[in-house]
């Protein structure tokens, strides 16, 4: 392996562990800052790194998209696959499975709405942790350190009137989610879409979440809530597969 490829791989691994500045990376790899800056520019150009507002560099989601082909071998996707199809056949709504992968929440499986209405989400793409049902269901199962790691790069952007835009408000909702055992997206990213979600646990702790999503005019949140017991039973079946 060439020295430049090994160095690029090392940089990617370093910023995957923790976002870092040019200066920090230059010191870590024993390079001049200008040389490290060029390395990071190259990684940005191919979509492997991104510069954050605070000047640090973090992984870009292109790497996650490139890993989509590996999802077929992902334990959660494999364990959930048949259960997701049975759930979808029973309810007809869009079903999502999201996995906690390092410090990101990624959609790993999806069964589209039986009516043909397609949602914005796609397998291999990240879920918005603060305004998606799966995101909040997973966050609720993490301790403060885990939540901090997932939320480190979040932009507290208002998408609709219902979007949560502060950490205090999110933490308050997560306490409710812990108590009731399920989460909701009540038109928080797209005001015409809502969903309910439940966590998926393994012996190692929370590993993902399962959700039902619908256009509000087809099934509103109160109608989706009626399907939470079925959603929870499916999540339990998936958890048993995981062990």
Contacts (Cβ under 8 Å, ≥6 apart) of 3:
none
User: Do 82 and 52 sit in the same domain of this protein?
Assistant: no
| Last residue within a domain, chosen from 17, 33, 60 | 60
Please indicate, yes or no, whether residues 11 and 100 belong to a single structural domain of this protein: no
Whether 95 and 15 map to the same domain: the answer is no
In angstroms, how far is CA 71 from the centroid of its own chain?
14
Q: 64 falls in which pLDDT band (50, 70, 90)?
A: low
* pLDDT for the residue 230: 95
Other beta carbons less than 10 A from residue 1's beta carbon: 6
What average pLDDT does this structure show over 208-221? 91
**Do 176 and 141 share a structural domain?**
yes
Q: Where are the beta strands (DSSP E) in 133-233?
A: 183-186, 193-202, 205-215
Which pTM was predicted?
Answer: 0.69
Among 60, 76, 101, the domain-final residue is: 60
Closest CA to 129 of 112, 116, 146, 115: 146
Are 30 and 75 in a shared domain? Answer: no
Number of domains in the chain: 2
Q: Are residues 40 and 126 in the same domain?
A: no
Which run of H or E residues covers position 108? strand 104-111
Q: Do residues 87 and 185 share a domain? A: yes
Q: Is the pLDDT of residue 174 over 80?
A: yes
Q: Same domain, yes or no, for 108 and 10? A: no
CA 78 to chain centre: 18
State whether 30 and 143 are in the same domain. no
73: pLDDT strictly greater than 50: no
Give me the domain span that covers residue 81.
65-242
Other CB atoms within 10 A of residue 103 CB: 18
Residue of 119, 84, 140, 115 lying closest to 195 (CA atoms): 119
Task: Dig out the tokens for 125 from the structure.
Answer: 């793409």
198 has a pLDDT exceeding 60: yes
Tell me, yes or no, whether 190 and 99 share the same domain.
yes
Token pair belonging to 225: 């809530």
Q: Which pLDDT band, with edges at 50, 70 and 90, does 118 fall under? A: low
Q: Where is the domain boundary, 37, 60, 83?
A: 60
CATH of the domain at 44: 1.10.10.10
Mean pLDDT of 140-153: 93
Residue 163, both tokens: 């979007």
We report the CATH number of the domain holding residue 167 as: 3.30.450.40
- Rounded Cα–Cα distance for residues 19 and 155 (Å): 15
Residue 176 has pLDDT above 80, yes or no: yes
14-22's contacts with Cβ under 8 Å and 24+ in sequence apart are: 15/49, 15/56, 15/57, 15/58, 15/59, 16/59, 16/102, 19/52, 19/54, 19/56, 19/57, 19/58, 19/152, 19/153, 20/56, 20/57, 21/55, 21/56, 21/57, 22/55, 22/57
Q: What is the mean pLDDT of residues 157-181?
A: 95
Are residues 173 and 222 in contact, defined by beta-carbon separation less than 8 angstroms? Answer: no
The pLDDT score that the predictor gives to residue 161 is: 94
State whether 52 and 69 are in the same domain. Answer: no
Q: Are residues 54 and 75 in the same domain?
A: no
Tokens at residue 99, please? Answer: 């996995």
């Amino acid at each position: 392996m060439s020295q430049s490829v090994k160095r690029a791989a090392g940089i990617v691994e370093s910023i995957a562990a923790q976002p870092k500045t040019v200066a920090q990376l230059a010191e870590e790899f024993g390079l001049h800052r200008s040389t490290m800056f060029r390395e990071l520019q190259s990684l940005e150009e191919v979509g492997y790194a991104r510069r954050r507002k605070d000047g640090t560099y973090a992984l870009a989601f292109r790497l996650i998209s490139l890993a989509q082909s590996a999802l077929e071998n992902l334990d959660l996707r494999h364990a959930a696959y048949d259960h997701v199809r049975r759930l979808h056949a029973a309810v007809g709504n869009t079903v999502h499975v999201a996995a906690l992968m390092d410090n990101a929440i990624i959609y790993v499986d999806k069964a589209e709405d039986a009516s043909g209405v397609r949602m914005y989400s796609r397998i291999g793409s990240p879920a918005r942790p603060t305004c998606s049902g799966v995101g909040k269901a997973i966050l609720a199962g993490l301790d403060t350190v885990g939540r901090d790691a997932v939320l480190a790069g979040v932009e507290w952007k208002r998408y609709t009137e219902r979007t949560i835009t502060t950490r205090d408000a999110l933490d308050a909702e997560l306490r409710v989610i812990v108590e009731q055992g399920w989460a909701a997206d009540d038109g928080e990213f797209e005001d015409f879409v809502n969903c309910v979600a439940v966590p998926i646990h393994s012996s190692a702790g929370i590993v993902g979440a399962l959700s039902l999503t619908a256009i509000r005019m087809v099934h509103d949140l109160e109608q989706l809530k009626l399907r939470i017991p079925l959603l929870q039973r499916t999540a339990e079946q998936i958890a048993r597969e995981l062990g």
